Amino acid sequence: ETGVTQSPTHLIKTRGQQVTLRCSSQSGHNTVSWYQQALGQGPQFIFQYYREEENGRGNFPPRFSGLQFPNYSSELNVNALELDDSALYLCASSFSRGWDTEAFFGQGTRLTVV
């Protein structure tokens, strides 16, 4: 176990709805990254938060947004859900934003959009 917890573990939403996924980072970690893993593919970087500020963003539309709270937990919000948003969403925390820092992953939230 990494100490990174995500909730919920599974979720079913209807196209057009909005969803919020949550992540509690490992104790002592101030950096959280979110990834989308479609079935049969590697994870793709959505964005990273460092000390409550966005610190990099991948190639995802603005309807993917996030927050990081003072306790360094984080939320991923997705508006206007599309069928292609169905995926495993992974959260990873690390103790710094350094490029050589190990990221510790949660078990993910599996989102199904119908």
Position among 16, 28, 56, 61 found at the interface with another protein (CB under 8 A): 56
**Which range of residues in 13-21, 48-56, 63-71, 78-86 is near another protein by CB under 8 A?**
48-56
How many Å apart are CA 45 and CA 1, to the nearest integer? 22
**Which range of residues in 19-27, 60-68, 69-77, 89-97 is near another protein by CB under 8 A?**
89-97
Q: Name the minimum Å distance from CB 62 to another protein.
A: 17
16 Rama class: left (phi>0) / alpha (psi -120 to 50) / beta: left
Q: Which residue has the tokens 């049969």?
A: 40
- 43 forms part of the interface with another protein (CB under 8 A): yes
